[in-house]
A = this chain, B = another copy of it.
Amino acid sequence: MGIEPGHDEALSRQIAERLKALRATRGWSLDELAVQSGVSRATLSRLENAEVSPTAQVLGRLCSAYGLTMTRLMGMVEDDFTPLIRTRSQPAWEDPSVGFVRRALSPPAAALAGEVLECELRPDARIEYPLPPRPALEHHLLLLEGALSLTVDGARHELVPGDCLRYRLYGASRFETPPEAGARYLLFIV
């Protein structure tokens, strides 16, 4: 079980349609997109016709060309957005190894530019991100509780509750909490 035949094709078809729509919106030709993304015309044609299943690699490149995060692309593929997200239905996930919990208060949706996350970090935690999913991603981070130290492009910032940090992400970043306090914060992403 767990294997559901027919889903594969459905997924491919949905991805295909979405990619086609994305390109149509920008008015790009396959050739232009090929140059922008580094993926060949032929492949693009086959992807948009659901003749093959794209690798994560080429999906990543396409997202980069379209200025999308993979999350958002998948959101476009999978969901039609519901305006009201109730507390209990907000998807959460946890990474116990680093003491990290995040909930999507306002999950990505095709029609929306922004999304909202609530994150919790335990004391003495450290998370590192080598690169943003797409350059110039805009963040507004509001620290609700605890203490948080952020390093972005080499600049380090110590936050206390109530502080709101805005920035555009181009390079590496690091999240750290001191030994004596964790952190709970809201993240608005555009």
Contact = CB atoms under 8 A, between A and B. Distances in A.
B104 A174 contact: no
| Chain A residues touching B, majority SS | mixed
21 contacts: A7-B64, A55-B56, A56-B56, A80-B117, A80-B129, A80-B189, A81-B133, A81-B166, A82-B132, A82-B169, A83-B139, A83-B150, A84-B153, A84-B163, A84-B165, A90-B164, A106-B164, A106-B166, A112-B138, A113-B190, A190-B190
Interface of A: 1-4, 6-8, 10-12, 15, 21, 25, 35-38, 53-57, 59-61, 64-65, 69-88, 90-91, 93, 95-97, 102, 104-109, 111-117, 119, 127, 129-133, 135, 137-142, 150-153, 155, 157, 159-169, 172-175, 186-190
